[in-house]
Amino acid sequence: MPVVDIYIVGLGVLNIDQITRETERAIRRSNEVLYVDTGIATQTYLESLCPRVTSLFETSYKETGKRLNAYHHMAARVLDAALDHPPVTFAMHGHPIVGAYAPFLIRDLAGLLALQVQVLPGISAMDCLFAELMVDPCVAGMQMYEATDLLLRRQSLQPDVPALIWQIGCVETTLHTMRVSKPERFERLRSHLLRFYLPQHVISAVYSTPHPLMPSTMHRFAVGNLCDYAHLLHPGFTLFIPAAHERPIEDLELLRQIDSVEHLRQITHEPPAGGQGK
């Protein structure tokens, strides 16, 4: 088994119910787990696995403080702990590499300090959203953007490919806040979407439930009405935009070939003599 100083793990979205066995084993092996998650049972559950449990949420985020400072704080605390009493676990909401910066800081600084890092996957909000909306990202593809980055770069959206827009509730700021949004906050995003979609195109803002006894929250509305939902769209929401139309097949030669045994034989090796392959 390789020596690990820092496990970086995801806790999933639904309270403690989506934590993998692999993650549980990593936490059991750790001398401290430092975590960022506001699930009601998280602290108690982690205490059942590890002698030292530290919540980093309260010390990392300050009202109107830069979210970047929060990530620096998390990374510093995790590296400090790993230097002092390895191994330690850094546990985050969802998947630890999706929409998260602290794990990258930890990896880079751990490299300079000769600390070994292992990242374990977790169930992301994206996985929950696929299940709740029954969307298969393999059918028409999937494009994904972080809301503010989408606007900063004026990224083009392909209306024939479904889209996920992360962090819509945090759009237009790098600062942390618990304040409720005004309609004006979404005006730029609405205008950008209207470059690619008709105003009546129906989209969904989804907040997958963090609690097993509560249903998820879903608001369905036309792109043109986005600003009317401002007060409801807290930082936990992700926006799903279904494709506006289907892209027609262009490669008709490949379309003929995909069902052809002859074509399959042309693009694969003969099986070894005596092997299977009928």
Nearest of 83, 87, 80 to residue 32 by alpha carbon = 87
CA distance 88 to 27: 8
Counting contacts by CB under 6 A, is residue 39 touching ligand SAM?
Answer: no
Counting contacts by CB under 6 A, is residue 93 touching ligand SAM?
Answer: yes
Q: Quick one: which of 65, 121, 224, 235 contacts ligand SAM (CB under 6 A)?
A: 235
Q: Which is nearer to ligand SAM, 18 or 259 (CB)?
A: 18
Of 113-121, 152-160, 184-192, 230-238, the segment contacting ligand SAM by CB under 6 A is 230-238
Minimum CB separation of residue 262 from ligand SAM in Å reads 44
Q: Which two tokens stand for residue 240?
A: 């799903």
Minimum CB separation of residue 222 from ligand SAM in Å reads 20
Of 20-28, 235-243, 244-252, 258-266, the segment contacting ligand SAM by CB under 6 A is 235-243
Counting contacts by CB under 6 A, is residue 124 touching ligand SAM?
Answer: yes
| Measured torsion, CA atoms of residues 201, 202, 205, 211, in degrees rounded to the nearest 10 | -160
- Residues numbered 160 to 189 that lie near ligand SAM (CB under 6 A) are 166-167, 169-170
Minimum CB separation of residue 110 from ligand SAM in Å reads 19
Minimum CB separation of residue 154 from ligand SAM in Å reads 20
Q: Quick one: which of 4, 6, 11, 13 contacts ligand SAM (CB under 6 A)?
A: 13
Q: Quick one: which of 65, 99, 137, 224 contacts ligand SAM (CB under 6 A)?
A: 99
Of 31-39, 105-113, 233-241, 246-254, the segment contacting ligand SAM by CB under 6 A is 233-241
CA distance 261 to 114: 53
- Contact between residue 35 and residue 11 where contact means Cβ atoms under 8 Å apart: yes
Minimum CB separation of residue 235 from ligand SAM in Å reads 5
Q: Which is nearer to ligand SAM, 40 or 264 (CB)?
A: 40
Q: Which is nearer to ligand SAM, 86 or 235 (CB)?
A: 235
Q: Please give the residue ranges that form the binding site for ligand SAM (CB under 6 A).
A: 13, 92-95, 98-100, 124-125, 166-167, 169-170, 206-208, 210, 235-238
